[in-house]
């Protein structure tokens, strides 16, 4: 099955934001540039997902629909089977992907001018969504011990003024790939309780867990947090179907859930039928086998990337426990960020995500998306080595 991930694909001109914005956003040429920024994958989704979609196409009718039971049951099965998490199907509310879910959470549980806590560096869209909705980000720096990020909750406490309403937490963590232990999750839960925060636990990367690591859902680690917990999950990263705009807010507490359900009803919000169908097919034993094969492929990519990039003096790709996003520190090169960025975009012709966008702690980093064919990873390594060859 691993060859599924190495078949050449060309996404240019197919309305892929990752590839079609290469020139306009990064000044990287379309002909031979490498897109390694936005977190989607360059290989097709699982055969079982394609088959389900084909079945709908063969049917040819795309009218109104009513039944969420198979979709909800598939989510319930996946959470139990893959994450040891017992959920009730009533807890599931759908959103158009998790970007949309985060915006809904901000909208429902805070007011313009409210302060919202994040631990940085973190997925840059948290800050964007907080600012776009007129709320104020309180960016608490993570600690770092060598290659490993950790929570510095004392430092975070000092940044709070007691009026914060929400914590948007990323678990596993994008961009560092850190998987928080059950003990750390309980510390976050205590922090939230102490500061009267609702916790939005964004667990979108939870299916990318590399061997030797264990992911614990926030609700499993800290069940006492339920009266203030919203868990976000989606198959958009796991199965590369982000364009289908389907994700979930899993909310065990009835009061919190009713508040969100009421907002969704008042906006006449609904998921789309094809997205539901694809997710239902994905969360299956066949889908699970495909995910396992994908993880094996990604491990190979990560090893090849790290070996090649870490051979450049002053460059350090941090070890990944989760996600397919390599988080690479260029501080040891002694170059300023502009020069690092220029060499990567202009000399290597690669478009990664810029570390500073991830907030405090990201200043000297670049994030490279490795969910691609191995030949592209090898190509990227060769280009990076050449772009920094004067450091050898």
Ligand X SMILES: Cc1ncc(COP(=O)(O)O)c(C=O)c1O
Among 76, 94, 174, 317, binds ligand X (CB under 6 A): 174
Give just the sign of the alpha carbon dihedral 155, 159, 160, 165.
Answer: negative
139 binds ligand X (CB under 6 A): no
CB of 172 to ligand X, least distance (A): 9
Where residue 177 falls (left for φ over 0; alpha for ψ -120 to 50; beta otherwise) is left
Among 104, 119, 123, 365, binds ligand X (CB under 6 A): 123
Among 108, 200, 234, 309, binds ligand X (CB under 6 A): 234
For residue 203 the two structure tokens come to: 């667990």
CB of 71 to ligand X, least distance (A): 16
CB of 163 to ligand X, least distance (A): 25
Q: Is 102 or 384 the residue whose CB approaches ligand X more closely?
A: 102
CB of 322 to ligand X, least distance (A): 11
247 binds ligand X (CB under 6 A): yes
Measuring CA to CA, which residue among 208, 209, 240, 295 is closest to residue 46? 240
β-partners of residue 350 are 34
Q: Is 5 or 37 the residue whose CB approaches ligand X more closely?
A: 37
Among 105, 151, 156, 170, binds ligand X (CB under 6 A): 170
CB of 370 to ligand X, least distance (A): 14
Among 42, 202, 219, 306, binds ligand X (CB under 6 A): 202
Interface mask (CB under 6 A) for ligand X, residues 61-100, using x and -? ------------------------------------xxx-
CB of 346 to ligand X, least distance (A): 26
Measuring CA to CA, which residue among 238, 264, 225 is closest to residue 79? 238
168 binds ligand X (CB under 6 A): no
Question: Binding-site residue total for ligand X (CB under 6 A)?
Answer: 13
Which residue ranges make up the site for ligand X (CB under 6 A)? Answer: 39, 97-99, 123, 170, 174, 202, 204, 234, 236, 242, 247
């Amino acid at each position: 099955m691993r060859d599924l991930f190495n078949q050449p694909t060309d996404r240019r001109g197919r309305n892929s934001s990752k590839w079609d914005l290469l020139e306009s956003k990064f000044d990287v040429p379309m002909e031979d540039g490498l897109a390694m920024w936005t977190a989607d994958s360059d290989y097709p989704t699982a055969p079982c997902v394609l088959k389900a979609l084909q079945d709908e196409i063969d049917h040819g009718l795309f009218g109104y629909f009513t039944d969420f039971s198979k979709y909800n049951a598939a989510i319930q099965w996946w959470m139990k089977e893959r994450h040891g998490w017992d959920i009730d199907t009533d807890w599931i509310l759908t959103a158009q992907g998790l970007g949309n879910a985060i915006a809904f959470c901000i909208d429902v549980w805070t007011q313009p001018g409210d302060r919202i806590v994040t631990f940085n560096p973190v997925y840059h869209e948290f800050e964007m969504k907080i600012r776009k909705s007129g709320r104020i980000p309180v960016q608490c720096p993570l600690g770092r011990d060598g290659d490993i990020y950790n929570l510095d909750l004392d430092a975070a406490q000092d940044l709070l003024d007691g009026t914060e309403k929400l914590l948007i937490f990323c678990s596993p963590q994008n961009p560092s790939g850190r998987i928080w232990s059950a003990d750390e999750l309980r510390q976050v839960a205590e922090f939230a309780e102490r500061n009267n925060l609702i916790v939005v636990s964004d667990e979108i990367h939870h299916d990318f867990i590399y061997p030797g690591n264990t992911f614990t859902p926030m609700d499993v680690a800290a069940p006492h947090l339920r009266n203030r917990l919203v868990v976000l999950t989606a198959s958009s990263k796991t199965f590369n179907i982000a364009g289908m705009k389907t994700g979930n807010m899993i909310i065990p507490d009835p009061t919190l859930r009713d508040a969100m359900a009421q907002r969704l009803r008042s906006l006449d919000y609904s998921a789309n039928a094809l997205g539901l169908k694809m997710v239902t097919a994905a969360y299956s034993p066949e889908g699970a086998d495909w995910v396992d094969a994908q993880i094996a492929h990604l491990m190979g990519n990560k090893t090849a990337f790290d070996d090649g990039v870490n051979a450049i003096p002053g460059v350090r790709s941090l070890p990944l426990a989760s996600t397919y996003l390599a988080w690479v520190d260029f501080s040891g090169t002694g170059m300023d960020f502009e020069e690092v960025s220029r060499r990567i975009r202009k000399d290597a012709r690669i478009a990664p995500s810029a570390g500073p966008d991830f907030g405090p702690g990201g200043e000297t980093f670049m994030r490279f998306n490795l969910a691609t064919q191995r030949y592209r990873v090898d190509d990227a390594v060769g280009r990076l080595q050449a772009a920094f060859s004067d450091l050898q």
